Amino acid sequence: MSLADLPDPNSSLVVGSVTTTMGTVIMGNGSGDAAVGVDIGTLDSGGGSAAIAFDVLVNEPFPPGILTIANQGQVSGSNFAPVMTDDPSTVAAHDATLTQVANTQLDICERDLGQCGSDLFTCEAAKSEITADLVIANAALGQTGALLNQCTVNESQCQTALSGAQTSLTQCTATRDQCQASLSQSQSLLVQCSADLFQAGGTLAACNTNLTQAGVALTESAAALDQCSSSLQESVANLASTTAELGTTEAALASMTQERDAAEVKISEQDAKIRSLQARLDTCEGHPPNLACQADLSGDGMVNFKDLGLFKSVFFKKCEPTP
């Protein structure tokens, strides 16, 4: 005899879970098996028995409105008509075994909520509240995800900015350390000065007097510095003016030098002419009689204005008015 059993369509056989106290499991423990089959063998006459068990998993999701799953096997043999299994908890004979499935609206709500509720209304109210919170949480998650994406996209920029900020921080820290060192040194000097002042038996009044004198000296030094600066500016202006005048003078000197050179050339030319004439005259004097030499009326060896005066004294007489 054998047993055949097809689990409820809203459940699935757990492959490998089929056991029997007699015979052999021929279906249900192999990969891909969806139904159960057991070859029981031959039962003892007059009260023999075999126990067959298997597990199913209730489908998830489960169809709404259905609150049970059913199972019924069929036992077959060579010497009897097929027999349908019986639910032993009911009076009816050969009826399918029904198993309650927690699938009421409250059950569904409780599963959604993840906790037990006293009634459907309370459960739905709690679920609505959680759903609203979930919407808010999802929105926040979306914003966070967007920020994360943006941050990822700008990661290199962020890292660059971070590097710059770290460099600035390092520089600021170094500057701060230097300032603190200077402050510490100043404080040490102040302490030393106070100690010196105490040791010298000085007083605050004397110190103030010195300070006032130092202030006066400082003011005077500042005034002197201002005056020095004014003088310097004036000297610079004078230097510029003198430089300009020097340029003008040098230009005039250059022009005068050119004129002088030209005059020297003319003088040289005139001197040459005079020397030439004198040479001719000397030639005349050396070879008399020469008519050209008769013009030296004064006999001084040169033909000049004296000769012209003598010449005029012969031909030109002053006209005296008739008395």
User: Using CB under 5 A as the criterion, which residues of the chain lie in contact with Ca ion when the complex forms?
Assistant: 86-87, 90, 92, 95
Q: Give dist(CA 38, CA 27) in Å, integer.
A: 7
Q: How far is the CB of 96 from Ca ion (least distance, A)?
A: 9
Q: For Ca ion, give the closer residue by CB, 86 or 107.
A: 86
Residue closest to 137 by CA, chosen among 125, 149, 145, 147: 145
d(CA 314, CA 134): 153
Least spacing, CB of residue 51 vs Ca ion, in Å: 18
Nearer to Ca ion, 84 or 190 (CB): 84
Q: Which H or E run contains 177?
A: helix 155-199
Helix (H) or strand (E) segment spanning residue 314: helix 305-315
> What are 265's two structure tokens?
């050339």
> In the complex with Ca ion, which residue's Cβ is closer, 71 or 103?
71
- Sign (positive/negative) of CA torsion 307, 310, 314, 316? positive
Cβ neighbours of residue 94 closer than 8 Å, sequence gap 6 or more: 83, 84, 85, 86
Are residues 83 and 75 in contact, defined by beta-carbon separation less than 8 angstroms?
yes
Q: C-beta of 90: minimal distance to Ca ion in Å? A: 4
H/E run at residue 4: strand 2-5
Q: How far is the CB of 70 from Ca ion (least distance, A)?
A: 13
Pick between residue 86 and residue 112 the one whose CB is nearest to Ca ion. 86
| Spatial distance between the Cα atoms of 117 and 125, rounded to a whole number of angstroms | 10
Q: Which is nearer to Ca ion, 61 or 88 (CB)?
A: 88
Q: Which residue has its beta carbon closest to Ca ion?
A: 90
**Residue appearing with tokens 């052999």:** 24
Name the residue nearer to Ca ion (CB basis): 92 or 116.
92
- Least Å distance, CB 101 to Ca ion, is 20
Q: How far is the CB of 87 from Ca ion (least distance, A)?
A: 4
